[in-house]
Amino acid sequence: MLSEPPSPEMTRGPNPRSSAEVRASTVDIVYLCSNKSTTSVTAAQLRQVSDSIGSSGRELQPRVKRGWNRLRDDQRVAVASRYEAGATTTQLANEYGVAKSTIIGILRSAQVVVRRQSLTPEQVSEAARLYRKGLSLSQVATQLGVNQETMRVAVIRAGVALREPTKAKRA
């Protein structure tokens, strides 16, 4: 049995900087308490190590689950009429708190012709400029407030050569 608690270095450093490192530290702490660990650590010692690690300055937020919103019949009618009046599917989805595909499904069931939401020439040139500057397709689409695929197709048609997609880095 250990006479002193394990050092914070045993749990991936004294001050983790990312939530991944915080999770890794937690896993290491749990491992120290498991049957497979070669050290015998008490719960009090684990708490002391955990407290000494501190936080990264970022509080871990619980994952927010998206609720299932069913639109009432009157809301469905309003969606169709507002879309026909010029509102976009993205605007309606954000306003009603549903997925864009839900709005499109409502429009199709109401036999409303879904229009293609192409980008203006100004948006296309801005998207090309931002992409050439180094932003990712996702970042450009978010910054312009448009659908990523719509933006990608418009940029390709404008003659911009796309970079190779980056792979997520794994620790």
pLDDT for residue 18 is more than 80: no
* Structure tokens, 5: 């608690």
What pLDDT does 13 receive?
A: 45
- Among 4-8, 15-19, 136-140, name the most confident range: 136-140
Are residues 13 and 42 both part of a single domain? yes
Position 67 in a domain: no
- Residue type, position 33, single letter: C
Q: Calculate mean pLDDT across residues 12-23.
A: 51
What is the pLDDT confidence band of residue 65, given thresholds at 50, 70 and 90?
low
Q: How many domains does the chain have?
A: 3
pLDDT for residue 12 is more than 80: no
Q: Calculate mean pLDDT across residues 1-22.
A: 49
pLDDT for residue 82 is more than 90: yes
Are residues 131 and 105 both part of a single domain? no
Q: What is the mean pLDDT of the chain?
A: 76
Q: How far is 106 from 16, CA to CA, in rounded Å?
A: 46
pLDDT for residue 1 is more than 50: no
- Residue type, position 132, single letter: R
pLDDT for residue 40 is more than 80: no
Handedness of CA 134, 137, 142, 144 (dihedral sign): positive
Quote the domain boundaries for residue 40: 8-53
Position 100 in a domain: yes
Position 167 in a domain: no
What pLDDT does 123 receive?
A: 87
pLDDT for residue 19 is more than 80: no
Q: How far is 33 from 96, CA to CA, in rounded Å?
A: 48
pLDDT tens track for 114-156? 887 677 888 889 999 999 888 888 899 888 888 888 888 888 9
Residue 24, SS3 per DSSP: helix
What pLDDT does 109 receive?
A: 92
Position 168 in a domain: no
What pLDDT does 110 receive?
A: 92
Position 151 in a domain: yes
What pLDDT does 47 receive?
A: 73
Q: Calculate mean pLDDT across residues 63-80.
A: 80
